Structure 1
């Protein structure tokens, strides 16, 4: 995270001074601190607390405190990076590459062509719909949706190709439609977090959402989670989105 150069209160130039702090009764000298001479305020951030703690004499649980502070710092850096990104769909590109019309994709998903048209305008959708589109088109979901910087422009194809489909293709489309009706999204967020040595609260901090919101995603929304959130979750953890959300055949309940 880039340190500020302007005072958030008056807009004046910030300067660096060196101060002495005490941590648990131990002195930490010559610690650089940003201050505004006009407002006489000091800006403290996680890195500063790390600097202070590192400069302090040894004290009980110093290493543990430093580890926790560095963990918080990493979470903040990931959060600040993700704030610069949004999602981008590549539906039209993939349709043209695969030689599949928008109407044909809509039929496989059992939705209206207008709905798919809306999605091509970068309208948000759920990770469930994104995974089902990927399945229908025979591509990875990362080919359909990616993260892009907010300040970057994306120029989508002006139109999608129209191609006639054969009887065999129509039959294949109907088969895919029936397969998709039996499938739903299963989450593996907790399993991946455990494997990575992370906690839900950490992931929430990296996404800049509350722990309750994180709980809702994992336990309530599940496959209804928005595609942008799903992609950012994957980035925040450092894994592929397919490791967190998988399209699987729904097992029938006993007695059905």
Structure 2
């Protein structure tokens, strides 16, 4: 279900009725009352509903399209930064203001920076939203070798924190022993998960073309990202993830984890 399309169509439809009522329908009703053809100038039920809901729909459309939009984290690809069950807020204006549905940029406000956690429309299916971390900017050369990142030939430093256990739906699968590390990506220190027991695979390098970004999940051995499907086009950007506003996981016993509410996403 394309919520952006639905809310846009509802806003347009109610807006047309609201405008018609302002310019023509209201005068017509008043004229019928004055001519004795009607007892009241009250609008019909559909017109009343449309004119009442239009301001609210317009407010929701503007807020969601140009300011902030909520998202739910459905998978563990961004563990340990984001957990399954996190509800996050995404800043829609961080990477430019775009028209709803058309996604056409109308105002430049900024660009992704290395280390940002960002939401984008999946290049192979734009109807699906993905969330990953910006690893490579246009022109960068990104190498992944032996579970280590290299950006433009320089190793991205990692520091081992210890084993990762997890809780509730985010608990490790039996037999797995992921390791939590802190990675310093430019000016951003963030946590990642590495599974030392899994094969590293062959070393790979990518050069990011202009107008594109290289994205990876923080759960490095369990993330479908740019290593598999390529680069994120600039026109697919949705916004920057900034805060967690709710965490819901009934597998922990008590569904709401209040300790994560309001946490900044680094």
- Normalised to the residue count of structure 2, the TM-score between the two structures is 0.27
Of Structure 1 and Structure 2, the greater strand share is in: 2
Of Structure 1 and Structure 2, the greater helix share is in: 1
Which protein, 1 or 2, shows the higher relative CO under an 8 Å CA cutoff with sep ≥ 6? Answer: 2
- Normalised to the residue count of structure 1, the TM-score between the two structures is 0.28
